[in-house]
């Protein structure tokens, strides 16, 4: 049986700040979102506030989960 899949590509803007890696990802059918990777949670919180967001807006999910929340499945990453 052949299963239909869809291939999609993202656009990524990358930055570094105080040792943190900040990525702004743009995927088809999703709003752009920010990934902040750093071993220091204090710096992550500082960046979140600096960018104008609140701590309650922080989530830890991957792109596949974001698509599933929108009801979109069977994507190739």
Residue 6 has pLDDT above 70, yes or no: no
Question: 53 or 1: which carries more pLDDT confidence?
Answer: 53
Report residue 36 as tokens: 């902040």
54 within domain boundaries: yes
CA distance 5 to 31: 22
* pLDDT for position 34: 94
The tens digit of pLDDT for each residue in 15-74 reads 999 999 999 999 998 999 999 999 999 999 999 999 999 988 888 898 889 999 999 887
Residues spanned by the domain of 18: 6-76
Radius of gyration for the chain, computed over Cα atoms and rounded to the nearest angstrom: 15
1 within domain boundaries: no
Report residue 39 as tokens: 């071993």
CA distance 6 to 44: 34
The count of domains in the chain is 1
Residue 5 has pLDDT above 90, yes or no: no
E strands present in the chain? 6-7, 11-17, 20-26, 33-37, 75-76
> pTM of the entire structure?
0.76
């Amino acid at each position: 049986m052949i299963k239909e899949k869809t291939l999609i590509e993202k656009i990524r803007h990358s930055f570094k700040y105080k040792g943190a890696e900040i990525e702004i990802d743009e995927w088809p059918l999703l709003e752009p979102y920010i990934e902040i990777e750093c071993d220091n949670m204090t710096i992550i919180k500082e960046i979140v506030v600096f960018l104008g967001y609140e701590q309650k807006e922080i989530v830890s999910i991957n792109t596949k989960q974001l698509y599933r929340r929108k009801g979109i499945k069977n994507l190739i990453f």
